Amino acid sequence: MFFQKEIETMKRADIEALQLERLRRMVDYCYENVPFYHARLSQAGITSGNKIKALSDLQYIPFTTKEDIRDNYPFGLLAKPMKDIVRIHASSGTTGKPTVGVYTKQDIDNWSDYVARIVTAAGVTQEDIIQISFGYGLFTGALGLHFGLEKAGATVIPASSGNSEKQLMMLRDFGVTGLVATPSYALYLGELVQESGYPKEAYAKLRHGILGSEGCTEQMRGRIEETLGIRVTDNYGMTELTGPGVSGECEYRCGLHFAEDAFLPEIIDQETLEQKAPGEAGELVVTTLTREGMPVLRYRTKDITRLNYEPCRCGRTHVRMDKVMGRTDDMLIIKGVNVFPSQIESVLVATENVGPHYQLVVRKKNFMDNLEVKVELVDGSLLESFGELESLQRKIHDRLKSVLGLETRVTLVEPKSLERFQGKAKRVLDLRNQPEE
């Protein structure tokens, strides 16, 4: 079992002492090797790691944003010469230039350690056969989980994404015990399993769901567990910070354990940018403490969560973050109300007679924002019963109004009429910039 006990069960004082030592070293490293940080740190008066007397002095280091990384595309934030770089990853770049991540050999080795920790905490052992249904390529998720799972001793099937019938065949024939996928794709595979014509026993060995790359509410997790017969654990990471392995749930699923020896987290108020007290919700900011190729200082993730510093029942002592409540850049502002897609998902998944697939359409009418929630019926025959349809529509409308404090238009559509996703789900269609109908 891959359990780095001497690191994962350190006393809080020892964790903080190690973090302070590594933070000071990282400030010096960035100042000396990355022109962008040399300028930023000089402007802030932090010309040496010795200026950092305590972890609380982190607040004086300037933030790094996604825009900073894109402005320095592709290699402006490298801290090592290219001859020392052994791998390049990048985000999908759906909005502007992609976010690039570069890795030294030591970075790759450390990364696989962090991933091995979280999959082990989730229950993966050398006896497991794990099918990775993430798309391989520039995306960090597939290779990140691949190397970490191998380091943890598991057998890995690099299935990649797509060809869902073949995915099901491998689940059955290869004795797969664990699935790596996005929650959206796991949900879709669960539907296909139920329709496959094979008895459920054909998939009986499947027990782990190591899902990531997009948010997953508790209600959605429950639906996936029900359809696939697995136990789902959440993990967290992003290209800017290395990839998966930043944090992950253990068997008790009471928060995602941070690799605090490598990543220094803090919570800030996204409006004032001031640090918040432990236990308060806000935007997660992370500093890398060991990354050689492309270190980042105080990276604003835009993810909303909170941190819990109490030791966990599993024995691990590193801080736990709550499941991400939403992203500031995913947040919709409708008539002045902040709306997170996860809030809507939690209502829909908990409602009988509708499926977990939905689409949010935002339009402007009479100069006012309007939100339409499209959701699939489980049984298409309901479309023939106006009374039942109207009752269900009203129920969803009222629940959404209670949760959001906002009027929405609810549209019930035929089963399987909304798009399924093999990668990250794109559930928001914002048409506010188009001419009004």
The residue out of 299, 327, 355 marking a domain boundary is 327
Domain shared by 349 and 323, yes or no: no
Give the residue-averaged pLDDT of 277-306.
96
* CA gap 433, 435 in Å, rounded: 7
Domain shared by 198 and 342, yes or no: no
Q: Could you give the number of structural domains in the chain?
A: 2
Give the residue-averaged pLDDT of 243-260.
97
Condensed to tens digits (0 to 9), the pLDDT of residues 318-334 reads: 999 999 988 877 778 78
- What's the chain look like in SS3? CCCCHHHHCCCHHHHHHHHHHHHHHHHHHHHHHCHHHHHHHHHCCCCCHHHCCCHHHHHHCCCECHHHHHHCCCCCCCCCCHHHEEEEEECCCCCCCCCEEEEEHHHHHHHHHHHHHHHHHCCCCCCCEEEECCCCCCCHHHHHHHHHHHHCCCEEECCCCCCHHHHHHHHHHCCCCEEEECHHHHHHHHHHHHHCCCCHHHHCCCCEEEECCCCCCHHHHHHHHHHHCCEEEEEEEEHHHCEEEEEEECCCCCCEEECCCCEEEEEECCCCCCECCCCCCEEEEEEECCCCCCCCCCEEEEEEECEECCCCCCCCCCCEECCCCEECCCCEEECCEEECHHHHHHHHHCCCCEEEEEEEEEEEECCEEEEEEEEEECCHHHHHCHHHHHHHHHHHHHHHHHHHCCCCEEEEECCCCCCCCCCCCCCEEECCCCCCC
Domain shared by 211 and 277, yes or no: yes
Residue 417 pLDDT > 90, yes or no?
yes
The residue out of 327, 352, 377 marking a domain boundary is 327
Of the listed ranges 14-28, 184-198, 290-304, 330-344, the least confidently predicted one is 330-344
pLDDT given for residue 367 in this prediction: 63
Residue 95 pLDDT > 70, yes or no?
no
pLDDT given for residue 94 in this prediction: 46
The residue out of 327, 342, 369 marking a domain boundary is 327
* Domain CATH for 400: 3.30.300.30
Of the listed ranges 80-94, 122-136, 278-292, the least confidently predicted one is 80-94
pLDDT given for residue 40 in this prediction: 98
* Domain CATH for 115: 3.40.50.12780
* Inside any domain, residue 436: no
Domain shared by 139 and 282, yes or no: yes
Domain shared by 148 and 279, yes or no: yes
Residue 81 pLDDT > 70, yes or no?
yes
Residue 411 pLDDT > 60, yes or no?
yes
Domain shared by 286 and 401, yes or no: no
Domain shared by 94 and 234, yes or no: yes
* Inside any domain, residue 343: yes
Domain shared by 352 and 313, yes or no: no
pLDDT given for residue 385 in this prediction: 84
pLDDT given for residue 67 in this prediction: 92
Condensed to tens digits (0 to 9), the pLDDT of residues 211-234 reads: 988 888 898 899 999 999 999 999
Percentage of the chain exceeding pLDDT 90: 75
Work out the pLDDT band at 142, boundaries 50, 70, 90. very high
pLDDT given for residue 290 in this prediction: 98
Work out the pLDDT band at 91, boundaries 50, 70, 90. confident
Domain shared by 276 and 133, yes or no: yes
Report the mean per-residue pLDDT for the chain. Answer: 93
Domain shared by 206 and 237, yes or no: yes
Domain hosting 347: range is: 332-430
Condensed to tens digits (0 to 9), the pLDDT of residues 423-433 reads: 778 888 888 87
Residue 354 pLDDT > 80, yes or no?
yes
pLDDT given for residue 436 in this prediction: 61
Of the listed ranges 52-56, 153-157, 427-431, the least confidently predicted one is 427-431
Domain shared by 314 and 344, yes or no: no
Of the listed ranges 6-10, 91-95, 334-338, 380-384, the least confidently predicted one is 91-95
Higher pLDDT, 34 or 380: 34
pLDDT given for residue 366 in this prediction: 66
Residue 375 pLDDT > 90, yes or no?
yes
Residue 336 pLDDT > 80, yes or no?
no
* CA gap 158, 407 in Å, rounded: 45
Work out the pLDDT band at 415, boundaries 50, 70, 90. very high
Higher pLDDT, 156 or 434: 156
pLDDT given for residue 247 in this prediction: 98
